[in-house]
Amino acid sequence: MSDTRDDRFGPGTYLTPDEAKEFHKLFVSSFILFTLVAIVAHFLAWMWRPWIPGPDGYAALQTGVDFASTAITSLMA
């Protein structure tokens, strides 16, 4: 019986140190990209509808919606 040892990490991982470094690099870059996309999405959602309303509550937003709908309908007519 031959005992062939390789340089795989721990039980059940099946990754060599080089494979683990490559996977880690891909994981970290994917996580950073996901985080940046999430930050941009949250910023755009905040610009569309702020989570903390102003002194008049969300009623102040209705003026902007009315203005936008009037502008859009006047362009279509």
Encode pLDDT of 6-50 as tens digits.
Answer: 666 666 668 888 988 999 999 999 999 999 999 999 999 888 877
Residue 4 in any domain: the answer is no
Q: Which two tokens stand for residue 15?
A: 């990754």
Q: What is the rounded average pLDDT of the residues 1-8?
A: 56
- Asked if the structure places residue 16 within a domain, the reply is yes
Domain range for 22 is 10-76
Counting the structural domains of the chain, the total is 1
Say if CB 17 and CB 7 are below 8 A apart. Answer: yes
What pLDDT is stored for residue 42 in this prediction?
A: 93
Compute CA distances 25 → 9, 28, 33, 35, whole Å.
17, 5, 12, 15
pLDDT of residue 3: 47
Token readout for 29 is 């870059």
Q: Which residue has the higher pLDDT, 42 or 66?
A: 42
